[in-house]
Amino acid sequence: MRTDRAAGPLLAVMVAASAVSAGLVVASAALELGQAHWAAALVALPLLVAVLVAAVVSYRRLIVPAATALGSMLAAIATGGLVAWTDDAAGAVAVHVAAAGGALAAALVTLAVSLRGEGLPLGPWRDYVTLTKPRIMSLLLVTGAGGMFVGAEGWPGAVPLASMLLGLALACGGASALNHVIDRDIDQLMGSRTAARPVASGRVPAPRALEFGLILSALSFALLASTVNVLTAVLALVGNLFYVVVYTGRLKRSTDQNIVIGGAAGAVPPLVGYAAATGSLALPALWLFVIVFLWTPPHFWALALMIKEHYQAADVPMLPGTRGESETRRQILLYSLVLVAFTIVVGVWLGPLYTAAAAVLGAYFVLLAWRLRRDRTRRDAVLLFHYSLAYLALLFVAAAVDPLLL
C-alpha cells in the first residue's frame, strides 16, 4: 500500500481536532479547570487513537508522530491521575504538563506531515451516507432508545436522549463504514446486491472510508464520555470493536455460527441506552441484550436462505450452505420459540404492556417461522426476514412506552 499520499480531508480534520483537543488539555490544566480538563482529555484520547490506527493501516509515515502524540497523552493522563490521587506530587505535575505539551506538539507535527503528498479522490457524499448503513442504524437506535427508557423508568430527558442517540449513531455508522472496508473483497463476489457498494465498486477509496469510519468511532467515544458517562462510551466502543474486529474480521469468514456469536455486537445498543440513563448496568439491561441476541440468528438466517447463492459465491460459511436449508429452517424455528418464550418471561420486569406486545408480536413471529419450516418457500423466508425487523422495533417501542404509563 502506498505511503506517500496525502491524508484525506476527513483524516486531516481528525488530526486537527486531536491537536486542538490536546491544546485544550494543556490550557485547561494551566487554568486549573478540573472537570473541563478531564473532559478535554476524554475527547483527545479517542481522536489520537484513531489517527494512529489510520497511520498503521494506510499512512506509515504518520506512525512516529501519531504514536508519540498518543503516548504523550497517555503519560499525561497517567500522571494527572497520580496528581489527583496524591494531591502533592510536584514531580508528577511537571511530567504531567510536559507530557500534555508533548502530545500537542506531536499532534501538530502529525497534521503537518499528513498534508504532504498526492491526494486521493474523496468520492460522492451520498456514498458516505451509504457507508453508515442507515437502515440498520435506525433499528439499533430504536433498541438503544428502548434501553434508555427502561433504565430511566420513563422519559429520560430530551438532551440526555439526544446525546445518547447521536453518540450511538456515530458508533454504529463508524462500525458500518469499517465493515465496508474489511468486506470489500467479499462484496465484490456477492453479486449486484453488494458489488455496487461504495468501497467495493471503487467509488470511495478504501483509505477514505477507513478515515471516515475511524473519525465517527472516535467522535462517538468523545461525545458519550464527555456528555453522558464513561461507561456508556466504553460500551459503545466495545460493540463497535466486537462488530469490526471479532465478527467482520474473524467470525464471518471462519464459522457458520458467525451470526450466533456475532449477534452480541448488535445486542449492545440497549446496554448503551440503559447505561446512559443510570450510569450502571442491571438485570433489565441484560434482558434487553439477550432479546436482541436471540433475535439475530432467525433474522439473518432468513436472509441467508434468500441469498444463499451469494454467500456461497463469496465463500462465506452461512448455515444454509454448510448444513443445508432444512437444518437452517429447523434452527430458525427453534430460536424463534426460545426468543418468544424469553420475551414473555421477562415481562415480569418490563411491564404488562410490553408483555402483551411480546405475546402478540411473538405469536406471529413463531407462525411465520413454522410456515417457513413447513412450506420451505423463498417467499416465506422473505416474509419472516422483513417481519423480524418490525417485530424487534415494535417490541422495544413497547418496552419504552410501558414505564411511561406507570
Work out the burial of residue 281: count CB atoms within 10 Å of its CB; fewer than 13 is exposed, 13-18 middle, 19 or more buried. middle
Q: Which of 365, 345, 363, 364 is nearest to 355 (CA)?
A: 345
Q: So what's the pLDDT on residue 324?
A: 93
Phi first, then psi: what are they for 202, rounded to 5°? 90, 0
Cα 62 to Cα 280: distance, rounded to the nearest angstrom: 38
Its pTM stands at 0.88
Please give the grid coordinates belonging to residue 99: 507530557
Cα 51 to Cα 401: distance, rounded to the nearest angstrom: 41
For residues 42 and 226, is the Cβ–Cβ distance under 8 A?
yes
Report the chain's mean pLDDT, rounded to a whole number: 88
Does residue 383 come out as left (phi exceeding 0), alpha (psi in the -120 to 50 range) or beta? Answer: alpha
Please give the grid coordinates belonging to residue 282: 442491571
Which segment of 31-45, 181-195, 261-275 scores lowest on mean pLDDT?
Answer: 31-45
Reduce the DSSP state of residue 115 to 3 states and report it.
coil
Cα 79 to Cα 86: distance, rounded to the nearest angstrom: 10
Cβ-based neighbours of 282, under 8 Å, separated by 6 or more? 274
pLDDT tens readout for residues 164-220: 999 999 999 999 999 999 999 999 988 777 888 999 998 998 888 988 999 899 889
pLDDT tens readout for residues 69-120: 899 888 888 877 666 666 555 555 667 677 878 888 888 888 888 777 666 6
Q: So what's the pLDDT on residue 177?
A: 95
Q: Which of 114, 137, 148 is nearest to 17 (CA)?
A: 114
